[in-house]
Amino acid sequence: MQAGGLLLAGVLFGGGGSAAGLANLVVQLLALAILAVNGAAVKTFFRSAPRAISVLVAVTLLLPLLQLVPLPPAIWQALPGREFAVQSLELTGGSQIWKAFSLDPNRTAIAFFALLPALAILVLSWQSSAEDRRRLLMLVAACGLLVVLLGAQQLASGNRHLVFYAETLGSPDLQGTFANRNTAGLMLDAALVALVAVFPLRQVRAIWTLGGMATALLLIVGVVLTRSRSSMALLLVPACLAAWRWLRWRRPTWNRRLAIVIAAAVLVLAGSAALLAGNQRVQRSFARFDAVEDEQRPLIWEDTIAAIGRYMPVGSGIGTFDDVFQADESLENLSYGRAKRAHNDFLEAALESGILGIALAAGWIAAVARFGVQALRRGGIGLAGVGTFALIALQSITDYPLRSQTLLCLAGLMLALLIDGGRDDDEAGEVRRRSRRTGDRPHAARPSTTDPLKR
């Protein structure tokens, strides 16, 4: 209940990014209170969780704290890229004071506190029962539905009523509880992944079939209405996850699998085209794919790589990108607005944390890949973690999803499902039993019902 309440608070208050400090503070204070009353759960996690995960979590939490440690002038002035700070402080006579490693300690401190809600959800849910995990996944799907329904009301008023953030006023996009359409679209993609993972494959009732189809359709339409190109492209992830889970369950022959996948793709494409072809708002969403030639991201990446060279191997401090990037932004790439982000979270991590940030990102990728392969083999609710981290990693190439408090909370939950997703989950065992009955012994004779010994 505490993890679910914190996740819901993250969806309602954490969608504004770093600019919505007070709204994020609500989620962070709630997380601090939950961690304070669940100290035993925190100790259990770091003592009993898989060693690779507990070490990565500890290093991720310690990194921003270490960047806040004050350093004597002889040390911090010798760090790469600090010459501009030294020149500025010499003008005011303050160059001989102790300063933190980070060039913007306030933003680095905010980055640390933003990690606490994800930590709270992780330590509370990683050892929960399979039934509780299914409830949490259903909550994720319900939150996605809430975003769509709220966004529909906002669009009906031209995004002038019921909006959460000032920057979304008058926007043509479905925003819901988010200030960024890419984040909103990724949240809906993750809700689809949660729906795929929690959908029952045995004894399916009509209410699940009808409700699941209606929810999936609303979430897909919601993704299209966000007009986020990356989120629309990433609809392939929940589609592939659904195909993987169904084929793994049914275990058809390879020829039949290929026929099923092709038929499903044709039906989805034909149905979507028939349903959405006449909708002008949907047509405007797909028209954004024609604007690739006006894309500014490659230019930002080029200047970010130059800035990385300035601050290597230590980085400039977590959260400092918007300040330090200005010095390396080339004149030919200047535009009317500020970049504010690298629009590639891997490059931004390299700029802000140097070699340690690159190593930490590589460690997380390796750990998630390891547990993800295990979850793919097991099946069940652990697949939600596989799909969600695939979404986050892919969108991180062109955006910054984990700079959102909402998606940090979601990542904490999905990591909990991933690292212990096989416990109390009987789908893998059921698949093995079905395999033994239908695959390994396809021609085994049934016992005679007339033989009293076999009866």
pLDDT digit string, tens, across residues 183-215: 999 999 999 999 999 887 776 677 777 888 888
pLDDT in tens, 385-429: 999 999 999 999 999 999 899 999 999 999 999 987 545 454 555
Is the pLDDT at 315 greater than 80? The verdict is: yes
Rounded to an integer, the average pLDDT of 245-274 is 60
pLDDT bracket for residue 248 (50, 70, 90): confident
CB within 8 Å of 153: residues ≥ 6 apart: 161, 162
* Cβ atoms 315, 63 nearer than 8 A: no
pLDDT bracket for residue 258 (50, 70, 90): low
> Residue 350 has what pLDDT?
94
Letter for the amino acid at 12? Answer: L
Is the pLDDT at 356 greater than 90? The verdict is: yes
> Residue 327 has what pLDDT?
84
Q: Which strand (E) or helix (H) includes residue 70?
A: strand 70-71
Kindly state the percentage of the chain with pLDDT values over 70: 81
Q: Which strand (E) or helix (H) includes residue 29?
A: helix 21-37
pLDDT bracket for residue 448 (50, 70, 90): very low
Q: pTM for this structure?
A: 0.84
pLDDT bracket for residue 441 (50, 70, 90): very low
Looking at per-residue pLDDT, the higher value among 300 and 438 belongs to 300
* Cβ atoms 176, 186 nearer than 8 A: no
> Residue 142 has what pLDDT?
94
Rounded to an integer, the average pLDDT of 271-277 is 56
pLDDT in tens, 234-247: 998 998 888 888 77
Calculate the CA 226 to chain-centre distance. Answer: 17
Q: How far is CA 376 from CA 17, 368, 395, in A?
A: 32, 12, 21
> Residue 3 has what pLDDT?
93
Is the pLDDT at 273 greater than 70? The verdict is: no
Rounded to an integer, the average pLDDT of 143-148 is 95
- CA angle (40 as vertex; 37, 41 as ends), nearest 5: 90
CB within 8 Å of 345: residues ≥ 6 apart: 396, 399, 400, 401, 402, 403
- Conformational region of residue 227, where left means phi above 0, alpha means psi within -120 to 50, and beta covers everything else: left
Is the pLDDT at 56 greater than 60? The verdict is: yes
Measured CA to CA, the distance from residue 168 to residue 179 in angstroms comes to 6
> Residue 21 has what pLDDT?
87
pLDDT bracket for residue 432 (50, 70, 90): low
Measured CA to CA, the distance from residue 303 to residue 324 in angstroms comes to 11
* Cβ atoms 175, 168 nearer than 8 A: yes
> Residue 424 has what pLDDT?
46
> Residue 445 has what pLDDT?
39
Letter for the amino acid at 306? Answer: A
Looking at per-residue pLDDT, the higher value among 378 and 106 belongs to 106
For the chain, helix, strand, coil in percent to 5 are 70, 0, 25
Is the pLDDT at 452 greater than 80? The verdict is: no
Looking at per-residue pLDDT, the higher value among 220 and 272 belongs to 220
Measured CA to CA, the distance from residue 452 to residue 455 in angstroms comes to 5
